[in-house]
């Protein structure tokens, strides 16, 4: 968390700047940490009265130095909340792949103390997901399943937005870091609420399909890397068929630079 009395930071890769802490209910000023590079050296001569994962509240009086562990350390209690539906469609559309949830869990925990890892699944009536659900459980997740609701007019409704939000806020007092595995911008207010609860918020998702609002709301956005994905032959065929259909619909590309009449 923090070193004691009068030390300067030997190689702290963060830039410090003050900001009002009124919204957090603290007196004094708040100082945030932002990555700047491995060579930054920043001495401090203030006293930290409360240390959060990414926010430190200071008062005048004594000297204290901060360590890099404010951002990540092995003592942090981590809760991971996975929007499986969002991950499935993003991986399929962008990469013709599926997510290896076992590898992803290792990446997200990153040596810290895992408190809970919950995967939220929407079950379609006509799709057998038993094998998938069992694989996710074996990977180390608690799985919550909700049936997809089909309305009289044929439209469907099924998501875990409310359930996932309630779980995150209920557990926030027992967590230092909350990892939201989703790109859905509807979770941006949840990220803001978790920060007000004192949690560090990380968002893990695909950069191309993640809401900018959600990225701005979290402390750190972590793009999903290709090495936690595996190609699916069915998805590849579907992608190729869509590409072929699109090319047939629009016809071969035409060189418009040659569409100039002699009179022009």
The per-residue pLDDT for 252 is 57
Condensed to tens digits (0 to 9), the pLDDT of residues 82-96 reads: 999 999 999 999 999
- Condensed to tens digits (0 to 9), the pLDDT of residues 149-208 reads 776 666 666 688 999 999 999 999 999 999 999 999 999 999 999 999 999 999 999 999
CATH of domain 77-237: 3.40.50.1010
pLDDT band at 234 (very low <50, low <70, confident <90, very high): confident
Residues of the chain above pLDDT 90, percent: 50
Q: What is the pLDDT of residue 60?
A: 33
User: Are 158 and 148 spatial neighbours (Cβ–Cβ below 8 Å)?
Assistant: yes
User: What is the predicted pLDDT for the residue at 263?
Assistant: 41
Q: For residue 200, how far is the Cα from the chain centroid?
A: 11
The pLDDT tens digits of the residues spanning 53-63 come to 333 333 333 33
Provide the residue ranges of all domains of the chain, joining segments of one domain with +.
14-70, 77-237
Beta strands in 85-211 (DSSP E): 97-99, 113-123, 142-147, 149-150, 156-157, 177-181, 200-205
Which residue bears the tokens 């920060």? Answer: 195
Using an 8 Å Cβ cutoff, are 149 and 157 in contact? Answer: yes
Bridge partners of 16, per DSSP, are 33
Which tokens in the block code for residue 73? 């350390």
């Amino acid at each position: 968390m923090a070193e004691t009395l009068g030390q300067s930071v030997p190689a702290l890769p963060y830039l410090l700047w003050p900001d009002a802490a009124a919204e957090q209910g603290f007196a004094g000023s708040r100082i945030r940490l932002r990555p700047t590079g491995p060579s930054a050296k920043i001495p401090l001569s203030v006293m930290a009265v409360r240390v959060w994962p990414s926010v430190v509240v200071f008062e005048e009086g004594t000297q204290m130095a901060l360590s890099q562990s404010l951002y990540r350390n092995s003592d942090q209690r981590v809760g991971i909340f996975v929007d499986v539906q969002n991950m499935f469609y993003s991986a399929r559309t962008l990469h013709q792949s599926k997510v290896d949830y076992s590898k992803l869990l290792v990446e997200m925990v990153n040596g810290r103390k895992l408190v809970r890892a919950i995967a939220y699944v929407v079950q379609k009536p006509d799709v057998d997901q038993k094998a998938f659900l069992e694989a996710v459980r074996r990977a180390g997740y608690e799985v919550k399943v909700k049936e997809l609701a089909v309305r009289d007019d044929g439209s469907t409704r099924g998501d875990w937005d409310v359930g996932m939000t309630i779980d995150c806020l209920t557990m926030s007092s027992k967590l230092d870091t909350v990892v939201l595995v989703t790109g859905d911008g509807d979770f941006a207010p949840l990220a803001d609420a978790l920060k007000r609860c004192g949690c560090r918020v990380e968002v893990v998702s695909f950069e191309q399909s993640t809401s900018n609002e959600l990225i701005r709301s979290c402390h750190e956005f972590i793009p999903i890397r290709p090495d936690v994905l595996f190609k699916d032959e069915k998805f590849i065929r579907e992608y190729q068929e869509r590409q072929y259909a699109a090319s047939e619909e629009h016809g071969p590309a035409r060189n418009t630079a040659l569409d100039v009449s002699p009179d022009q």
